[in-house]
Chains A and B, each alone.
Chain A
Amino acid sequence: MTIALPVDYAGVSMAMTREMIRRGASDLHLVCVPTGGLQVDQLIGAGLVGTVETSAVSLGEAGGAPRFNAAVRDGSIRLKDATCPAIHAGLMAAQKGIPFLPMRGLIGTDLLRHRKDWRVLDNPLADAGDPIVLIPAIKPDVAIFHAPMADRFGNVWIGRRRELAAMAYASTITLVTVERIVEENLLADELTAAGVLPALYIGAVGQAPRGAWPYGLWGEYPPDVAELNRYAQAARTAEGFFRYMAEVGVEAVS
């Protein structure tokens, strides 16, 4: 199963991450939009992940992502190293229902050399040779994110975090956790409507207050820097990782 997950500042559903680890899964293919952090590191540490397609994975100011780095070293995950605009291009192709999107700036990189699914073509509209890379559509089965609010009609307010919409457009279904559910229709007011991802794209919404913790949520609460640092230290070893997860109430089944 392919799962699209957002960048750490856009609204990461850590509440759902913990639930996924409690319930267990295997060989998940994660698509980071366009980078990953704590969420990806925990899913890898808990053994749920087979493949990671990403532009980067790190814990930001807290340092490198320890379980990701360990998994790379021992070869226990497949890596599809990408770059941010290529992830965006792949999702955009899926959004438009086309097989690929051309993209500049990749020729000469080792990313291209290792990505057999990325092809180089001569621009058919140019007179002389003009090589350009084709990025195939990325079509996740599920997109998962956390947002400040949804209404009781299933419309979700994403503000200017348009990568969340891009993920949803490209994915078969989208699962969202929110801080709160409001009574009024978010589409009824033009001010909120402009930042709404309509219910059309949403599979299910669940209420999870502080659902991004220990990440922050834009406009709501800041990241818990001390907790992120605590995780970064604890997860340096597999034992430390499982001990940490048990402390935050998550016993992994796998």
Chain B
Amino acid sequence: MTAILSREILIYAIAQLLDGVKHVAVGASSPIPAAGAMLLRAMKAAKGEPVPRISVLGSVEHNFFTNGSAELFDCAAQGRIDAFFLGGGQIDGVGNVNLVGAGGYPQSDVRWPGSFGSAYPYSVVPRVILFREEHSPRVLVDKVDFVSAPGVSERGVSRSGGPIALLTGKGLFRFDKSHPGFILDSIHPGYDLDEIKASTGFKFQHADRPGRTASPDGSTLSLLRGKVLDEPAGTYGEFAAKMRAELP
């Protein structure tokens, strides 16, 4: 079998995190989460099981909404979206996400696009997966410079959703909201615990010998490299082309 790309491990990890969802929404600029959702759909279809509904914002073919960009949020409010993804310029140890900028506000030293719709789905969607490929102390910080979306809410504040996991290019963490904080679940091939500790700016719990993140098997890989890569091409043309170029 050909070598498995690190991005294929991420896409497979996302497919597993989404197992069981009925409807997942993927925001703009999220080709790997979109591919993960599409891989899960392909895996379910191959087994003859019910497939999840996937809404890719900005795509014509994979977008079920007819009521403008407000509909995604209304749909989430009604409990019709089970899973959603969030990235972030900074993510901290209690699950706070910063999409606005680093170093002061409003005159940030580094300005990112902005919060988009982050806080709302973070508050009402039950299975939010934090995803950021770069795993470094500048991204995974002790405390974010700006809270676009809070990891947990104070008692008495209505909240039915929140983070369940954080997936990076180096490892997978689970989120424990009672703590609150992250627990290292598995480490991707090529990395070790020391490396994860050195590149994480917040404290996290972990087993003495954390497990290894699973790689997709042969049949899953062929689904991923065939059907799935064809699908995101419409919305994420440049990403799909790049993935194809990297394939062995």
List the interface of chain A (C-beta within 8 A of B).
7, 9-10, 33-35, 54-58, 60-61, 64-65, 68-69, 72-75, 79, 81-85, 88, 92, 103-111, 114, 128-132, 160-166, 218, 225
Q: Is the CB of A35 within 8 A of B68?
A: no
A56 with B116, Cβ < 8 A, contacts A72-B101, A129-B156 known:
yes
The yes or no answer to B186 lying at the interface (CB within 8 A) is no
Query: What A residues does B191 contact at CB under 8 A?
Result: none
Q: Is the CB of B58 within 8 A of A9?
A: yes
Q: Is the CB of A85 within 8 A of B156?
A: no
Residue of A nearest to B238 (CB): A61
The yes or no answer to B2 lying at the interface (CB within 8 A) is no
List the interface of chain B (C-beta within 8 A of A).
28-29, 58, 60, 65-71, 73, 77, 99-101, 105-109, 111-124, 146-150, 153-154, 156-159, 236-238
Q: Is the CB of B70 within 8 A of A85?
A: yes
Query: What A residues does B107 contact at CB under 8 A?
Result: 72-75
In angstroms, Cα B65 to Cα A88, docked, is 15
In angstroms, Cα B101 to Cα A97, docked, is 35
In angstroms, Cα B106 to Cα A74, docked, is 10
Q: Is the CB of B149 within 8 A of A104?
A: no
Query: What B residues does A160 contact at CB under 8 A?
Result: 65-68
Q: Is the CB of A83 within 8 A of B157?
A: no
Q: Which of A56, A88, A110 lies in contact with B147, CB distance below 8 A? A: A110
Q: B102: shortest Cβ distance to chain A, in Å? A: 12
Q: Is the CB of B156 within 8 A of A131?
A: yes
Q: Is the CB of A108 within 8 A of B28?
A: no
Q: B231: shortest Cβ distance to chain A, in Å? A: 17
Q: Which 3 A-B pairs have the closest CB atoms?
A: A162-B68, A56-B114, A105-B123
In angstroms, Cα B2 to Cα A218, docked, is 39
Q: B176: shortest Cβ distance to chain A, in Å? A: 18
Q: Is the CB of B58 within 8 A of A166?
A: no
Q: B167: shortest Cβ distance to chain A, in Å? A: 22
In angstroms, Cα B105 to Cα A58, docked, is 18
The interface residues of chain B, by DSSP majority, are classed as loop
Most buried by B among A68, A85, A106, A225: A85
Residue of A nearest to B65 (CB): A160
Known: A54-B114, A61-B238. 6 other contacts (CB 8 A): A56-B115, A64-B111, A81-B106, A111-B115, A160-B65, A160-B67
Q: Is the CB of B120 within 8 A of A60?
A: no
Q: Which of B68, B120, B146 lies in contact with A104, CB distance below 8 A? A: B120
Residue of A nearest to B145 (CB): A110
Q: Is the CB of A111 within 8 A of B29?
A: no
Query: What B residues does A104 contact at CB under 8 A?
Result: 77, 120, 123-124, 158
Q: A235: shortest Cβ distance to chain B, in Å? A: 15
A108 with B67, Cβ < 8 A, contacts A57-B114, A60-B29 known:
no
What are 16 pairs between A and B in contact, CB < 8 Å?
A33-B69, A34-B116, A35-B116, A55-B115, A55-B117, A81-B114, A81-B115, A83-B117, A84-B117, A85-B120, A105-B120, A105-B123, A111-B148, A161-B68, A166-B68, A225-B238
Q: Is the CB of A34 within 8 A of B106?
A: no
Query: What B residues does A61 contact at CB under 8 A?
Result: 29, 236, 238
A108 with B120, Cβ < 8 A, contacts A60-B29, A65-B113 known:
no
In angstroms, Cα B177 to Cα A8, docked, is 36
In angstroms, Cα B118 to Cα A85, docked, is 9
Q: A196: shortest Cβ distance to chain B, in Å? A: 14
In angstroms, Cα B236 to Cα A225, docked, is 12
Query: What B residues does A130 contact at CB under 8 A?
Result: 156, 158
Q: Is the CB of B146 within 8 A of A110?
A: yes
A73 with B105, Cβ < 8 A, contacts A9-B58, A10-B69 known:
no
Query: What B residues does A58 contact at CB under 8 A?
Result: 113-114
Q: Which of A72, A83, A161 lies in contact with B120, CB distance below 8 A? A: A83
Query: What B residues does A128 contact at CB under 8 A?
Result: 156
In angstroms, Cα B96 to Cα A110, docked, is 11
Q: Is the CB of A109 within 8 A of B106?
A: no
Residue of A nearest to B96 (CB): A108
Q: Is the CB of B117 within 8 A of A107?
A: no
Q: Is the CB of B111 within 8 A of A34?
A: no
Q: Is the CB of B118 within 8 A of A110?
A: no
